[in-house]
Structure 1
Amino acid sequence: MKTKLKKSYRFALRSSGMVTLCATIALCVFFYFELNSPLYIFIFIGAIFAFSFFIIQYRVENFIYKRVKKIYDDVSLLESTSFQDQPVTTDMRTLTEEIEKFANNKKLEIETLKVREVYRKEFLGNVSHELKTPLFTVQGYILTLLDGAMNDKTIRKKYLSRASKGVERLIYIVRDLDMITKLETGDLHLDYEDFDIIELVQGVFDLMEMKANKKKITLTFDQDYKEPTLVHADRERIQQVLTNLIVNSIKYGKEGGTTEISIENLIKNKVIVRVTDNGEGIEKQNIPRLFERFYRVDKSGSRKEGGSGLGLSIVKHIIEAHKEKIYVESVFGVGSEFSFTLEKTQKAANVEI
């Protein structure tokens, strides 16, 4: 395939040709009649053409280079080091493509920043709301006690108990934020071990039994697992994942409903754990943002159920720290299913599925 001349070369060639033509017409008569030899005319034509070409090409490259470099510097498209040890691009098509690419990248960057700005404002608003509610509660009870209520033993005990709950909620929020930060920066160490995921789920069921009974929600497996399912992960963190998911299913579940856990073989070395409920479900537009910090599906701002508002965000970060995947499916008014993958132990993975 033939390589096309750069446009600047074509420009220089045409310009040189015109300069040569004009100079030749003006002087050919002189050379012809004085020297009476066509050879000198052709030598003169070649010399004028070559001289004109190199002068014009040099001028064009310098002209374009200076202006293009100024454009690059102004928009920070390329660093100045990009011009060292390589030829200057004087092809306007290449320049146009680079400018268009730059413009598209900047447009995408601006759109991303706008989205992030919206998320930032929502995040700050949510953090403010989560913190000020328990802070004002604690402050209110303490001020009431200082105003004289502390002399009444019954009121003093009740208000101190309520203030203590407000402080506990603040501790939950700060602790969970600290954990997320460590997970994001990779500072939280995972202690991998082999354990039975079915036994761990049953342990979480036992811990959550009283909470589930208050709403008459049944915690159950999808079947009777007679054999253990061994996985390789951080037992404590996976317990936290299961706890957060089950707490959520109870919190948003229907009274008299069910929270069901199933463990299935996904591929030879993976299992998938599913947490399914028949609660209120999640509207489709809210699903992509479920794992954001403090994101609330309930826009009323109700905090009746308590919690730090960081449970699902922690779940996502713990699973991703294990280099595994988490999924969510939900139908509004029908229920939700959260599922995540775990690696089997090497011994279990070698067993024929």
Structure 2
Amino acid sequence: MKLRLRLALTVVAVTVPVVAGLTLAQRSLRLRIQEEVLQASTLAQMQAGEKERCEAAPDSWTPRRGPPPRDMPRKPGESPPPNSSEPERRGPPPSGPRPDMGPPPDLPPGKLGRPPPSFSYFPYDDRLVSRNTSAPVISEDVQQELRSGQGVVIRRSTYDGRPALEVLLRMPWEGGPCAFILARRVEGPGGHIEGVPPPEVLLVPLLSLVAVVVALGPVVRRVRQLTGEVRASAVSRYQQPVSVRGNDEVAELARAFQEARAEIQSQLSQQEAREQALRDFLANTMHDVMTPLTVLQGHLSTLEQRTGRGDATEPAVLASAMGEAHYIASLVHNLAAAARLEAGAPQVQRAPVDLNSVIARVIGRHQPIARQRRISLERGVPEAPVWVNGDVTLIEQAVSNVVFNGIHHGHEDGHVAVVLESTRQGRFHLRVIDDGPGIPEEERSRLMERRFRGNAARTRGLEGQGLGLHITQHVAQVHGWTLSLLPSEYGGLEVSMEGEVTGG
């Protein structure tokens, strides 16, 4: 649904009860005014000289036309005052019924083009009996109201099929044939129909609707313009900005889109960077895996040929094949750990971890390749388990990387030791010590700064420890531990991890 149509329907829905309320209020006010005017005009006429005329001929009395006389009322037969323009009336008032008179002086005339309402007056004595044969009979309930002390009774009815207002007034004098006066006001033909709002009230929703349609023109144009700019920006992958004009709600919407556009551009840039890093990562991985795999295939082919000829197996070839297989396994584990760390915190599953058991598994995994390289792999752990809270897979891979580096870069007949200590301050201290060539201080600082995406850290030379060490550093950061690289007292490298222990 279009905005203009929606708002127009809203205006109509709001104005309908408003019009109904205004109609009821205007109708109630108009009826109240009619009652007060009819009551006041009747009482004023009777006090202005109509009393004597009514009592003189109660069977045919009808008030005079026009405004009441300025002078005081005269008794029947009394001559008019000097300079009076009123002709002297002689004899009794004319007998017989007189036509209905026009509206009282205080009553506004009928609307242009419509016949004015007609008025009729009927006198009653103290017993509410009228000598005028055309006078309506006063009902018992009205008589009860008057006897209960009410000075006026107002009734609404119909007369000749037209709305009629009847006011029965007690006059301010006692007794006589005109002690009560019934004034009847009958709407003229074609008058206002009850319950139908007058034209001026019906104009309210029409004018409101026109005002809404006119006022919404600029707003709709701005919304359409903003819609076009948003679509154009989306086509340009949110490179094209949208215009922000003014300080109203449409401008706020444009500013909100600008903020969303900036966020989308940032997300797209990060996504493109991740995709590029993934492509580089896959290219490097392919190279790192294919090289040892090719070497391993060559060793296996040599072993197959020698076995087929019945020759003895060369220990050097078998040891090299085992080394390549061990390297491929470590590389695959590192890639899995790197993927989990890159995915963020939701991929880190925390639970109680026994570091004693982790070290035992790492030693068992690397012991065969250590024996092939004639390297002594030893461990020293407390008798009681040392528990930490963390991800067991990532922790085990971090320790395995350090042990692998010590074995892979150690000398023959060398040593690699894994030492775990638990302090009284509720912390653990895990050290992996070797007596290999070690790493110069300037290279140790660079290794701690590298990211596992770096190409230089993916090589198999001495600097190739970068991938495994950085994964170890990342695991330590995720768990809130500290990692340090120090020269060992035996001439090699000492990798130290320290953190808090838990109750298990």
Aligned to 1:351: none
Q: Which amino acid aligns with 2:288?
A: E
TM-score relative to the length of structure 1: 0.50
Q: Which amino acid aligns with 2:291?
A: T
Whose radius of gyration is greater, 1 or 2? 2
Aligned to 1:287: 448
Aligned to 2:387: 231
Aligned to 1:68: 226
> What's the secondary structure of 2:265's corresponding residue?
helix
Distance 1:59 1:297, change over 3 A: same
Which residue, 288, 299, 302 being the options, matches 2:460? 302
Which residue, 388, 396, 402 being the options, matches 1:245? 402
Q: Tell me the number of residue pairs that the alignment of Structure 1 and Structure 2 aligns.
A: 274
Superposition pairs for residues 188-227 of structure 1, below 5 Å?
192=352, 197=355
Q: Which amino acid aligns with 1:231?
A: W
Aligned to 1:54: 212
Q: Is the 8 A contact 2:370 2:377 kept in 1?
A: no
Output the CA distance in 2 between the equivalents of 1:96 and 1:235: 45
> What's the secondary structure of 1:325's corresponding residue?
coil
- Give, in angstroms, the shift of residue 65 of structure 1: 1.9
Superposition pairs for residues 306-317 of structure 1, below 5 Å?
313=471, 316=474
Distance 1:240 1:91, change over 3 A: closer
Greater helix content? 1
Output the CA distance in 1 between the equivalents of 2:384 and 2:481: 22
Output the CA distance in 2 between the equivalents of 1:337 and 1:142: 35
Aligned to 2:429: 273
Q: Which amino acid aligns with 2:263?
A: N
> What's the secondary structure of 1:153's corresponding residue?
coil
Aligned to 1:40: none
Q: Is the 8 A contact 1:271 1:343 kept in 2?
A: yes
Output the CA distance in 1 between the equivalents of 2:305 and 2:432: 50
Q: Which amino acid aligns with 1:271?
A: R
- Give, in angstroms, the shift of residue 233 of structure 1: 5.2
Pairing 1:106–2:264 present: yes
Aligned to 1:19: none
User: Unaligned 5+ residue runs, structure 1?
Assistant: 1-46, 78-88, 347-353
Output the CA distance in 2 between the equivalents of 1:257 and 1:146: 33
Aligned to 2:273: 115
Q: Which has the higher contact order (CA 8 A, sep 6+)?
A: 1
Q: Is the 8 A contact 2:473 2:483 kept in 1?
A: no
After superposition, the C-alpha distances for 1:80-112 in whole angstroms (9 at most, x for unaligned) are xxxxxxxxx964542442243134223322432
Aligned to 1:132: 290
Aligned to 2:82: none
- Give, in angstroms, the shift of residue 63 of structure 1: 1.3
- Give, in angstroms, the shift of residue 257 of structure 1: 11
After superposition, the C-alpha distances for 1:249-290 in whole angstroms (9 at most, x for unaligned) are 566689999987665567xxx635354777435455553544
Output the CA distance in 1 between the equivalents of 2:320 and 2:252: 69
Q: Is the 8 A contact 2:386 2:428 kept in 1?
A: no
CA RMSD of aligned residues (A): 5.9
TM-score relative to the length of structure 2: 0.38
Which residue, 476, 480, 495 being the options, matches 1:325? 480
> What's the secondary structure of 2:479's corresponding residue?
coil
